[in-house]
Structure 1
């Protein structure tokens, strides 16, 4: 299960004797616990945005005047909340600030959505529905097929319109999801061709879309 670790600094505490963070990052990274993370700029560089009565109100600085602030974040992959708490307790900032451990929302099935997107692509190819096919791609998607690159939906639409309906059978399909990006590796048969397809996906708000696709023919 994934947990967000919010690293909260405190201006009132002396950080001069704090241990370096790099050993913690390396240890948890080597164990596959820490997935991502980054330090954030100071609260003085923040911009707070509100909308009231249809008007955008922008305020320089943090949401609230407080001596504690979020200095960075880490995303952890742990078997339990207790394991995540133990990892947070070893973070050097825990000795002078605070660590907020919060589980990710669990009603999402990213891999299932990507597999459904691939099924949509198969059905669209079978019927020759060009608009249905290109709807599976981001506007700036890059598709490389046997050395030829087609960049953007307009270029892809033209190529798919020239191709027409084609059978598409997915023989193998592996997906690896990592937050807002994912990668797929597939073996696909189209007509009399056997293709190796490597795909990059991006979570574009309400749905996943293809942002990069690399297709090569498998030759015996």
Structure 2
């Protein structure tokens, strides 16, 4: 399970004796526990945004005036909350600040959502619905099909309309997910042809969309 580790500094404490963070990052990275993370700029560089009555209100600075502030974040992959707490306790900033450990919201995993998107793509192609097919792609997506580039909404809509309806039988499908991007490798039989398809996906919040697709005829 994934956990967000919020690294909270305290500007009233002396950090001169704090141990370096790099060994902690390297150790958890080598163990596959720390997936991603980064330092953040100071609260003075923050901008707080609110919308009230349809008006965007922008305030320079953090959301709340406090001695503690979020100085960075880390995304951990742990088997339990106890393991995540243990990892947080070893972070050097824990000796002068605080570490907030918060589980990610439980939802269908990324690979499941991508496979559901691929099933939607297959059904859209079968029914010849170009609009439904296009909805599976980002607005700036590009499809390279046997060396021909189709990029952007109008070009893709025309391409899908010309090639649909077709039966799209997925023979193999492997997905690798890395945070907000993913890659898929598939062997697909369609229109009497065997195709190898490499697909790049991007997480746009409520769903994943295709941003790049490379299609070639399989030689074997």
TM-score under structure 1 length normalisation: 0.94
Residues 100-159 of structure 1: CA deviation (Å, up to 9, x unaligned)? 111111133432222121111111212222111111101011212222222212111122
CA separation in 2, counterparts of 1:153 and 1:26? Answer: 43
Gaps of 5+ in 2: none
Matched, 1:64 2:64: yes
Instruction: Output the aligned Cα RMSD.
Output: 1.5
Output one character per residue of 1:81-111: Cα deviation in whole Å (capped at 9) or x when no partner. 1111111111111111111111111133432
Match of residue 191 from structure 1: 191
Question: Counterparts of 2:55 and 2:164 in 1: how far apart (Å)?
Answer: 48
Consecutive unaligned residues of structure 1, counting only runs of 5 or more, are none
Residues 22, 147 of structure 1: CA spacing in aligned structure 2 closer, same or farther, 3 A cutoff?
Answer: farther
Distance 1:44 1:195, change over 3 A: same
Give the secondary-structure state (helix, strand or coil) at the position aligned to 2:19. coil
- Structure 1 distance, partners of 2:43, 2:130, is 48
Pairing of 1:35-54 with structure 2 (within 5 A): 35-54=35-54
Runs (4 or more) in structure 1 with deviation over 3 Å come to none
**Aligned residue pairs: how many?**
220
**What is aligned with 1:136?**
136
- Are 2:44 and 1:20 equivalent residues in the alignment? no
- In the alignment, does 2:86 pair up with 1:93? no
